[in-house]
């Protein structure tokens, strides 16, 4: 029955297994069963996850042909999300503007889409429009806008969002706490970031990573190290991001030996260095003028260095006036990213 297929489609969509969901839809259609609103919600989510824009457009056409979009904000929100995840923000905004019954979820879907696609100005503009219409944001809206404020260093706007969080009585959980810590960290308001962090009850590794990064980005490498030690003492296991943030913190503070120790400790926690870890180490060596060590690390990488790796090395060569290595790095950058 359609009900049974919908249950399976919903399960696949929630687990991020979009391709499996799309295969189920084909089998469902072969059986001659008609899709309903629930079917379309799951499939649109799956199309967004897999970037299946053509299939998504086909589903959109079906929805319009059947007249299901009228007064159905859930389908409208799903279409907005699908187009946004497929990188079609204009189409997402077209759907959003055409919705007659936009709710907080609708506004949040569009705001989050702008935030995720790197258009902070549009996200902030839409957020202000939402507030002017008297709609109160939900937790997801606030988290999305805080990420935008962090990227654009919009301190006043972020402070306003924090006030909204307090006024609405939203729970200061790991997600909201991390968003606030990251925002204050990007705006160099380390004391505010620390105040938020201290209010978290038994923070997980994600907020720890955020507060470590906040200090590291502003040259407080020793404080980042103290936070890491405190985190380990509290029984919280570091992850890949922890070491990326720590090595980066050491790079900004010139703590080469500490950064090297952090890199060596990655395997102690059952983790494998990624290209991001190598990039941070090359930056660490490069900033300190150890270009020979940085170049040697590039040659020892277990995978091909990408353009970002070579750009990092090129920047270090420029900083320290190493023309020979700089020319070589420049050629690599041009080859990989013309």
pLDDT at 13 > cutoff 90: no
pLDDT for res 66? 84
pLDDT for res 70? 78
pLDDT at 280 > cutoff 90: yes
pLDDT at 299 > cutoff 80: yes
pLDDT at 3 > cutoff 90: no
Burial of 98 (0-12, 13-18, 19+ CB in 10 A): exposed
pLDDT for res 211? 97
Is the Cβ–Cβ distance between 208 and 227 less than 8 Å?
yes
Of 38-47, 194-203, 279-288, the range with the lowest mean pLDDT is 38-47
pLDDT at 316 > cutoff 80: yes
pLDDT for res 80? 87
pLDDT at 33 > cutoff 90: no
The mean pLDDT of 197-212, rounded to a whole number, is 96
Query: What whole-number percentage of the chain has pLDDT above 90?
Result: 60
pLDDT for res 76? 87
pLDDT for res 84? 85
More confident residue, 59 or 301: 301
More confident residue, 228 or 38: 228
> How many Å apart are CA 245 and CA 249, to the nearest integer?
6
> How many Å apart are CA 181 and CA 187, to the nearest integer?
10
Alpha helices in the chain (DSSP H): 2-14, 18-30, 37-50, 53-65, 73-85, 89-98, 104-116, 120-132, 139-152, 155-168, 174-186, 190-199, 205-216, 221-233, 240-253, 256-265, 275-287, 291-300, 307-320, 323-336
More confident residue, 284 or 64: 284
The mean pLDDT of 173-192, rounded to a whole number, is 95
Q: pLDDT (tens digit, 9 = 90+) per residue, 214-247? A: 999 999 999 999 999 999 999 999 999 999 999 9
The mean pLDDT of 104-130, rounded to a whole number, is 89
Q: pLDDT (tens digit, 9 = 90+) per residue, 139-177? A: 999 999 999 999 888 999 999 999 999 998 999 999 999
pLDDT category, 7, cuts 50, 70, 90? confident
pLDDT for res 117? 84
pLDDT for res 296? 96
pLDDT at 179 > cutoff 90: yes
pLDDT for res 150? 93
pLDDT category, 25, cuts 50, 70, 90? confident
More confident residue, 261 or 32: 261
pLDDT for res 229? 96
pLDDT category, 64, cuts 50, 70, 90? confident
Q: What is the mean pLDDT of the chain?
A: 90
The mean pLDDT of 126-146, rounded to a whole number, is 91
């Amino acid at each position: 029955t359609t009900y049974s297929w919908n249950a399976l489609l919903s399960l696949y969509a929630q687990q991020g297994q979009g391709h499996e969901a799309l295969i189920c839809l084909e089998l469902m259609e072969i059986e001659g069963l008609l899709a309903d609103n629930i079917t379309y919600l799951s499939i649109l989510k799956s199309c967004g996850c897999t970037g299946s824009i053509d299939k998504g457009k086909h589903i959109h056409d079906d929805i319009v042909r059947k007249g299901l979009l009228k007064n159905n904000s859930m389908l409208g929100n799903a279409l907005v999300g699908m187009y946004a995840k497929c990188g079609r923000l204009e189409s997402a905004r077209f759907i959003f503007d055409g919705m007659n019954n936009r709710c907080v979820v609708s506004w949040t879907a569009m705001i989050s889409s702008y935030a995720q696609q790197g258009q902070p100005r549009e996200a902030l503009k839409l957020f202000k429009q939402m507030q002017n219409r008297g709609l109160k944001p939900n937790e997801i809206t606030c988290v999305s806008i805080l990420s935008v404020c962090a990227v654009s260093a919009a301190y006043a706007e972020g402070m306003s969002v924090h006030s909204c969080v307090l006024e609405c009585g939203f729970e200061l959980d790991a997600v909201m706490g991390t968003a606030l810590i990251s925002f204050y960290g990007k705006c160099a308001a380390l004391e505010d970031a620390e105040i938020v962090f201290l209010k978290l009850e038994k923070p997980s590794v994600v907020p720890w990573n955020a507060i470590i990064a906040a200090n590291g980005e502003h040259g407080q490498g020793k404080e980042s190290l103290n936070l890491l030690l405190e985190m380990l003492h509290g029984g919280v296991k570091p992850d890949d991001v922890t070491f990326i943030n720590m090595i980066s913190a050491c790079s900004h503070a010139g703590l080469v030996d500490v950064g090297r120790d952090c890199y060596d400790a990655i395997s102690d926690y059952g983790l494998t260095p990624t290209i991001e870890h190598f990039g941070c180490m090359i930056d660490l060596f490069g900033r300190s003028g150890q270009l020979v060590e940085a170049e040697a690390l590039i040659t020892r990488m277990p995978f091909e260095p990408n353009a970002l790796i070579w750009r990092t090395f090129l920047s270090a060569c420029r900083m320290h006036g190493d023309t020979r290595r700089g020319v070589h790095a420049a050629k690599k950058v041009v080859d990989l990213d013309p």
